[in-house]
Amino acid sequence: MSNTSNSLKQLALQKFKKDFWGVFSFYFIVLVGLVSVFAYVFAPDNSQYANQMHLSIHSKSPGFSVTMLTIPSQVKNEQNVFDKLFFGIKNTDTEVPISEYNIENDTLNYTEYAADGLKGVGKTIPLSSFPNHAVEDFITKKSFVFGTDKYGRDLLSRVLVGARISFFIGFVAVFISLFIGILMGSLAGYFGGKVDTVIMWIINVTWSIPTLLLVIAITLALGKGFWQVFIAVGLTMWVEVARVVRGQIISTKEMQYVTAARALGYNDFRIITKHILPNIMAPVIVIAAANFAAAILIESGLSFLGIGAQPPMASWGAMIKDHYNYIILGKPYLAMIPGLCIMSLVMAFMLIGNALRDALDVKG
């Protein structure tokens, strides 16, 4: 029996490997996952939430470069390595975009950057403000690959850090919906009778409430924040899983291999988990992939309404909300870049869902 199980797994794996788009989507999702976990390692702006603002260079086009003066702070950063790696650096230094500078009589004279051909404000700062008077070490050329947003923050860094919210809300919400949906659907489909009636009543009541309205209600009850959104979205997406699992079990529980399992004296829990569920997971996987896409879109809608991830936390949905009006103002990339990120991630999960469905299709 074990050899048969292993051979079926190997056959499914071989079928999956032959699907180019499924394998490509798998590696793309792994890449996004790594970027999500280690976002502050890859982000040019590794401050917390990539929230270093420079209003004088707001809404600059991709590839924009400027000379940046960093004025060190006297406050010591006491973060540990783990905190810096996964949550960003609490930046206490002051960064100032400048257009020109010169050193004269133990003072640094610089002119702040000003856009549209305007003349920036001239300022001075004593060289003693810099360790060992090494001013040149604190003046660097900074490039913005994706440009800057309306607050002058590095758009590439915001996109990388924002991947964390959009990526993990899909996983957490889908995990919650699968756990509740498979449990409720299995009980309703396998036992039937009053159990089925009660669970179907709960499903129908939940189904009758608009998803976004229910998410808003749950979010307001739990409070604003991204963890509350994770839970709220998961608690509203289980009904589709439950209905599909219930229907599949009703059509499967009278088949010969289930009857044989009962005749051998196996308990209901083993029959459901070992014999029925493995044979009905193909449509559930496709729904899980679709739910991942829906979770990202719902989070985007909540961020648009101000209920999702709260500023200054980076989120792809919030980035679209902040810059959607720039589409008609000649700078559509500010909204299109996070939009393309959402589209790519959603498409990857849909493609891998289809590939897994085909690979796990026992009839094939």
Check pLDDT > 70 for residue 231. yes
Q: Is the pLDDT of residue 275 over 60?
A: yes
Q: 281 falls in which pLDDT band (50, 70, 90)?
A: confident
Which among 346, 212, 209 has a CA at the least distance from the CA of 288?
346
The pTM for the full model equals: 0.84
Q: What is the pLDDT of residues 10-33, one digit of tens each?
A: 887 888 889 899 999 999 999 999
Condensed to tens digits (0 to 9), the pLDDT of residues 37-70 reads 999 999 999 888 888 998 889 889 999 999 999 8
Query: How many alpha carbons lie under 13 Å from residue 241 in its C-beta half-sphere?
Result: 30
The residue among 117, 161, 143, 157 whose CA lies nearest residue 61 is 143
- How confident is the model at residue 152, as a pLDDT? 92
| Phi/psi of residue 97, nearest 5 degrees | -70, 130
Q: What is the rounded average pLDDT of the residues 252-276? A: 87
The two three-digit tokens of residue 198, written as one number: 């009660």
Q: Is the pLDDT of residue 212 over 80?
A: no
Evaluate if residue 1 carries a pLDDT over 50.
Answer: no
CA 83/CA 297 separation, integer angstroms? 30
Is omega for the bond preceding 97 within 30 degrees of 0, making it cis? no
pLDDT of residue 197: 93
- pLDDT, the chain, mean: 85
Contact by Cβ (8 Å): 312, 49: yes
Helix (H, G, I), strand (E, B) or coil at 16: helix
Q: What percent of the chain has pLDDT over 70?
A: 96
CA distance 23 to 186: 31
State residue 80's pLDDT score. 83
pLDDT at 314: 86
Flag the least confident range among 17-21, 229-233, 270-274. 229-233
pLDDT tens readout for residues 102-124: 888 888 888 999 877 677 788 88
